[in-house]
Amino acid sequence: MTVITRFAPSPTGNLHVGNIRAALHNWLWARKSGGRFLLRLDDTDLERSRPEYADAIKADLGWLGIHWDGEEKQSGRFALYEEKFEHLKASGRVYPAYETSQELDLRRKVLLGRGLPPVYDRAALSLTPDQIAAYETQGRKPHWRFKLDHGQPIAWTDLIRGDQRFDPKLLSDPVIRRADGSWLYMLPSVIDDIDMAVTHVLRGEDHVSNTATQIQMFAALGAPLPHFAHEALLTGSEGKLSKRLGSLGVAHFREIGLEPIALLALLARLGTSMPIEPVTELQPLIDSFDFAHFGRAPARFDEAELAALNQKIVHMLPYGAVSDRLPEGMDEAGWEAIRPNLETVAQAADWWRIVTGPIEAPAPEEEDCDFLATAREILLDLSFDADIWRTLTGALKDRTGRKGKQLFLPLRRALTGLDHGPDMSQLLPLIGREEALGRLA
Please report, for the domain that includes residue 429, its CATH number: 1.10.10.350
Q: Are residues 170 and 194 in the same domain?
A: no
Q: Are residues 264 and 224 in the same domain?
A: no
Q: Which long-range contacts (CB under 8 A, 24 or more apart) does 146-151 make?
A: 146/88, 146/93, 146/94, 146/173, 146/174, 146/176, 146/186, 146/187, 146/213, 146/216, 146/217, 146/220, 147/92, 147/93, 147/94, 147/95, 147/173, 148/173, 148/213, 148/216, 149/216, 149/219
Contact present, 2 and 40 (Cβ < 8 Å): no
DSSP 362: P
Q: Are residues 88 and 153 in the same domain?
A: yes
Q: Is there a domain that residue 49 lies in?
A: yes
Q: Are residues 43 and 192 in the same domain?
A: yes
Q: Are residues 62 and 99 in the same domain?
A: no
Q: Are residues 84 and 167 in the same domain?
A: yes
Give the pLDDT of residue 302. 92
Q: Is there a domain that residue 125 lies in?
A: yes
Q: Are residues 332 and 384 in the same domain?
A: no
How many domains does the chain fold into? 5
Give the pLDDT of residue 47. 87
Task: Give mean pLDDT in consecutive 10-residue pieces for the chain, a chain of 441 residues.
Answer: 96 93 98 98 91 96 97 96 98 96 93 93 95 93 97 97 97 96 96 98 96 98 98 81 76 95 97 96 97 93 95 97 95 95 95 92 93 96 95 96 95 95 94 95 90
| Residue 3 buriedness (CB in 10 A; 0-12 / 13-18 / 19+) | middle
Q: Is there a domain that residue 182 lies in?
A: no
Q: How many CA atoms lie within 13 A of 428 on its CB side?
A: 26
Strand intervals (E) in 108-231: 143-146, 154-158, 162-166, 175-177, 200-204, 227-231
Give the pLDDT of residue 343. 96
Helix (H) and strand (E) counts for the chain? 19, 12
Please report, for the domain that includes residue 94, its CATH number: 3.90.800.10
Give the pLDDT of residue 239. 64
The H or E element containing residue 109 is helix 101-113
Strand intervals (E) in 205-351: 227-231, 234-235, 299-300
Assessment of whether the complete model's pTM goes beyond 0.85: yes
Contact present, 282 and 260 (Cβ < 8 Å): no
Q: Are residues 98 and 144 in the same domain?
A: yes
Q: Is there a domain that residue 421 lies in?
A: yes
Q: Is there a domain that residue 262 lies in?
A: yes
Q: Is there a domain that residue 397 lies in?
A: yes
Give the pLDDT of residue 237. 73
Q: Are residues 271 and 225 in the same domain?
A: no
Helix axes 388-400, 405-416, angle to 10 degrees: 130
Q: Are residues 25 and 173 in the same domain?
A: no
| Residue 273 buriedness (CB in 10 A; 0-12 / 13-18 / 19+) | exposed
User: Residue 73, annotated ligand binder?
Assistant: no
Give the pLDDT of residue 242. 63
Q: Is there a domain that residue 345 lies in?
A: yes
Q: Are residues 282 and 428 in the same domain?
A: no
**End position of a domain, from candidates 129, 157, 177:** 177
Q: Is 165 helix (H, G, I), strand (E, B) or coil?
A: strand
Q: Are residues 171 and 193 in the same domain?
A: no
Please report, for the domain that includes residue 260, its CATH number: 1.10.1160.10
Q: Is there a domain that residue 251 lies in?
A: yes
Residue 331: which domain range? 319-356
Side chain identity, residue 113: G
